[in-house]
Each structure stands twice: as structure tokens, then as C-alpha cells.
Structure 1
């Protein structure tokens, strides 16, 4: 998604909204770009910034080779600021530094762009500080807030942004791309898991190469087996196995993501939608046991519980506390 023509093919509605804004010179002062991981939020932010700054555009398309474009792509443009978490969150001090920076005129032009990624990582104080930017917009400042979950953004911020909703990409086509790569070999089972976690080819290759995702999949299988066979040991499992192997926030998030995939598969299999499996294989004995063990009502409760746990992790609740509360509801 390096060009607007590519975006039009992959995200037709988002591209139509943004292209019309540029063509009619009605670019919003703030966009909330919402989409699951791998839908290209960062690339879209760079594309918007290049469109604003490029002086060699071909119609709508930035040239991507001029001094302005190359500096934006390399993250070195002085008037395009990326604000990302320091540790687990984006803090008030970072937004204060941004505010001071934006009190000066642009170095390269009269325009300035800032990107908050991910916006759900803003602390309460930082979110309130960003809100002041949005309440008193400067016509030369464009804010791009990127998020996996628009509902995790406080309503006062959402209401002051134009929402750009990036739709999930086609999983089957992405799976085919992964299995047909020449540089590495990814089997069909692994491709199904990777395509459920990301639609970004580079991120999928990174996951595959690191192999951490597959180790987490093994942990999830152990957890489900333990729920079926040694239910009373679930709390001990979380402390002795899960939290021992998954220590940082990213690992915990990926563990919850893969747990969600597993229980979504169980739900789909129970209602006869086995063709949409992401975690299990159709002939998996653990899947068959799980389908018979959990009622439909119980599965829906567990899916809701997992989503709530993910939200707590995003809100920086301590991962150990999140997992303790989660396992007690299983």
C-alpha cells in the first residue's frame, strides 16, 4: 500500500474518503485510522504525510523519491513527528514535548504532522493533553491517530477525528502468498495461523522466523488440554508455565490473541463452520474434545472474557493480574 492506486484496490472506501479530501482541499485536522494489525496503518500514515509534503506529485500520487518523501519514509522529516510508547504507554511528558515542538513554525514548510501510534497506549493524562490539540486545531497541523481498536479511544477524542476504517484483508489470498514465498517455506497450517494474526507480509515473515508465535501456540494447546483434563491445575499452570514463558506485554497480547483464535475455532466447529479454522486442523483430536466439552453459551462467555482481558492489557493493567483474573473465569 505504497500508493493511492494500491490503496484503492485494497481499501476502496478508505481511499475514496481520503482522495476526495485531498482533491477538494478539505483535509481534516485529525484522522483516527482504525484497523487490525497488518492492515497497513503505518504505511497509510506515511502516504498521507508524503501527499501533504511532496512537491513532485503526479496528480494525487507522491513521487516517493524526492527529498521530502525519502525523509518521511526513513522517519527523518523534521515536521513529521511519530509519538510511540516509552515502555508500555505514551506518557504525558511525551505529549508535552510534542506541544512545545509544535509551538515553533515548521522547518521545511508551514505544515506539521504528528502520528500517535498506537493511540490506545495514551495514558489518561496524555489523552487529555492530546485532546487540547484537537479542540483548538491549527489549519496547518494534521494529526494521525493509529489504533487496532477504536473503541479503546476515549469518546471525546473519537468525536473530534474523522474515522478511517481499514477492513481486514482477504485471509485466503494472504495464506496462498505465504505458502508460495520463494525465500522461506511456510506450511499451510502455519500460514493459516499467521494470516489470522496479521495481513502484513513482512510481519508474517518476522513471526515465522522468530518462531515465538509457534511456541505460544504450543502453550495455548497445553492450556486447553489442561482445562479438559486437569481443570483444578489451571491457576498453577498460569504461574508456572504461561507467565514463565510470556513475560512482556507483547508476548501476553499475542498469547491472548492466539487463545481467542483457538476458542473462535471451537465455536466455529460447533456451529458447522469448520472451513474457517485458524488455530486447529480439522482432524485435531483436541478440537473434537473441546467441541464436546464446552457449551455454546460457555464459549460465548469465554470469548467475551478474553476480549475484556485484552482490553485490560491495553489499559496497562499488570499482566499477572490480568491472567489471574482471566483463568479464574475459565
Structure 2
């Protein structure tokens, strides 16, 4: 996902600045804890840091990508870069001991070593205590990277020995750009980027035929509600419930509907560039003239209330029928 430090700067500027300064000044910490939600680039940045650490022709803080160290790290087979991941549900004491044994030997290529522990919060208590001893007596030229989505589950004694770097959730625009660069049509990229802050998950959503159909059905329902032709409840019964046929899909449907009304509000506020459903913006502009801002926000509130009712185990069909009747008012 992350190809270089400059790309990182576009969505994790604080992390990039801190690590870049440390590389340039040769002041990398012996242990870092990368924490943040899934899909924020923690593991990729770990490998990028490894490249900068081992690169034979470092340019400032950017690895050259051409030397044998950069190439080996890229292909995942550098003898002095070690990756530890959960064995089943947890990281076990034996895995940390094997890592310590490996690190007691001198480096294969140089005196540098780097290890990365993925899902560090899944270490057993014994594994965590083994690692603690390792962190308390760091070898020179050794870097530990602990990566987690739930750092509050880790021992305080481990946290206190690591430099904590928090990775921010990705901005929808950043995800949208990645998707469009990968050939995803803009209307799908814009919407999928709103549903998750994980680039890979957004890519999966955008390429899913169910999602493409869902988007069309949401637009159709919105048009029926706006036209107030009495067809919306029938549409809910004949098409909506068949497509949005479980709780997760129903919630997605409500989210997509909410984004359309958010778009109407964006048009009313004069921020057309923030409209997600750009392909129906002319319709949205017409509707924006026919509704007050208060009316639009009330409709958005109704959709949010419907989401709550969905979780309160109300009949989804009844909830949707009541929602469309409420949206048709005013």
C-alpha cells in the first residue's frame, strides 16, 4: 500500500515526520509500538522503516529500493528482518524465545537486526514477559516494531519501553484516490471510501456486484420517496428486502440512503465538491431547492433512528415501510 515516505506523508503526516527525522539524525528508538485501526498502513510502514534502516544507499531518509537489502526486504526474505505473527489465536512464549535465540547470533549481513511483532496484543502472558526481558536489555543496532489495533490490551511495562506512534484513520479522499488509481469507477470509489477506513476493504466493497446493485436500489428508493408517487412502500416489499436480506446489508442500505441526504445538504450549503453521488447531482440540486435545510436534517435523523431500531430487533420490513413514509413527509 505505502510505496515511499512521501506517499505516507499524505495520510499519516505525523508518523512520517517523526520517523523521517529519526532516520536522518540516526536516532531511531530501539522499540516502537505502532497502534491504530486496521488498514491504516502500520505493517507496510514497518517494512518501509526496515528498508531505510538496512538500505546501503540511503538518500536522506528514503531507501534506494535498488540495493540487495531493499530488494530482499521487498520480497520478504531478508535474513535479519524477522516477522512474528499469532500462531493460531495467540503469540506463544516459544515464538518469542525462538526470536531471542535468533537475535543472540550475530547478524547475517551486518550487525543490524529488526523484528516486527504483528498483533502484539495477542501475546500470551508468558510470551509478553519473555519479550519484556528482551526490551529491557536492547542490543545496539536492533529495532523492535510492535504492531497492534488494541494497545490497551498490552502490559503497561511493555508500553512504557516503546515509543508509541498512533496511526490515524484514513480520510475518505485518500481511500477514494487509491481506488480510482486502481481503475475503480469514481461513483463506486467515492461511496466505498465512506463505508470503511481500510483501503483493502474499500477495494473489496467497490468491486462487489452486490454493492453496485445496492447503490442503484438506494438511488431508486430515494427518487420514489422524493417523487411521493406512493410506490416506495411497494418497492421496499418487492425489491429492497430481497437485496438487503440480513442485518449487516440493511445497515449498509441505510448508510447509503443517509449519504444521499447528506449530499442534498452539501448542495444546500454550497459545497458541491463534497457530494458523493456526483452522477445524480443535478437531481440533488433540484431536490435541494424543494426542501429546507431543517427538513433535510430531520430526514437524516429519521434514518439514524431507523438504524437504532434495526439493532433493537424491530422487524426490518416494518422499520423500512415506516421510514419511507416519514421521508415522504415535508
TM-score (norm 2): 0.62
Structure 2: stretches of 5+ with no match in the other structure:
215-245, 260-264, 267-273, 277-295, 312-330
Give SS of 2:10's match. Answer: helix
Instruction: Pick the structure with greater CA Rg.
Output: 2
Instruction: Summarize the Cα distance change of 1:85–1:16 in structure 2 as closer, same or farther, 3 Å threshold.
Output: same
Give SS of 1:65's match. Answer: coil
Cross-structure match for 1:204: 202
* Distance in 1 of aligned mates of 2:129 and 2:75: 30
Are 1:31 and 2:32 matched, yes or no? Answer: yes
Alpha-carbon offset, residue 127 of structure 1: 1.3
* Distance in 2 of aligned mates of 1:130 and 1:263: 46
Structure 1: stretches of 5+ with no match in the other structure:
218-240, 243-254, 269-273, 300-330
Retained in 2: the 8 A contact 1:37–1:197?
no
Cross-structure match for 1:61: 62
Alpha-carbon offset, residue 8 of structure 1: 2.8
Alpha-carbon offset, residue 262 of structure 1: 9.8
Alpha-carbon offset, residue 170 of structure 1: 1.2
Retained in 1: the 8 A contact 2:35–2:166?
yes
Give SS of 2:146's match. Answer: strand
Cross-structure match for 1:224: none
Deviates more, 1:123-132 or 1:17-26: 17-26
Give SS of 2:33's match. Answer: strand
* Distance in 2 of aligned mates of 1:287 and 1:91: 48
Instruction: Summarize the Cα distance change of 1:54–1:195 in structure 2 as closer, same or farther, 3 Å threshold.
Output: farther
Cross-structure match for 1:21: 22
Retained in 2: the 8 A contact 1:29–1:143?
yes
Give SS of 1:113's match. Answer: strand
Retained in 1: the 8 A contact 2:192–2:203?
no
Cross-structure match for 1:118: 119
Q: How many residues align?
A: 254
Instruction: Summarize the Cα distance change of 1:7–1:176 in structure 2 as closer, same or farther, 3 Å threshold.
Output: closer
* Distance in 1 of aligned mates of 2:159 and 2:44: 21
State how 1:151-170 maps to structure 2 within 5 Å: 151-170=152-171
Cross-structure match for 2:83: 82
Instruction: Summarize the Cα distance change of 1:39–1:50 in structure 2 as closer, same or farther, 3 Å threshold.
Output: same
* Distance in 2 of aligned mates of 1:171 and 1:35: 16
Residues 132-187 of structure 1: CA deviation (Å, up to 9, x unaligned)? 11111112210001112222222111110001112122114423653x45644585
Are 1:291 and 2:305 matched, yes or no? Answer: yes
Alpha-carbon offset, residue 25 of structure 1: 2.0
* Distance in 1 of aligned mates of 2:307 and 2:11: 40
Higher relative contact order (CA 8 A, sep 6+): 1
State how 1:306-317 maps to structure 2 within 5 Å: none
* Distance in 1 of aligned mates of 2:120 and 2:167: 15
* Distance in 1 of aligned mates of 2:204 and 2:112: 35
Give SS of 1:77's match. Answer: coil
* Distance in 2 of aligned mates of 1:124 and 1:212: 44
C-alpha RMSD of the superposition: 4.4
Give SS of 1:137's match. Answer: coil
Retained in 2: the 8 A contact 1:39–1:168?
yes
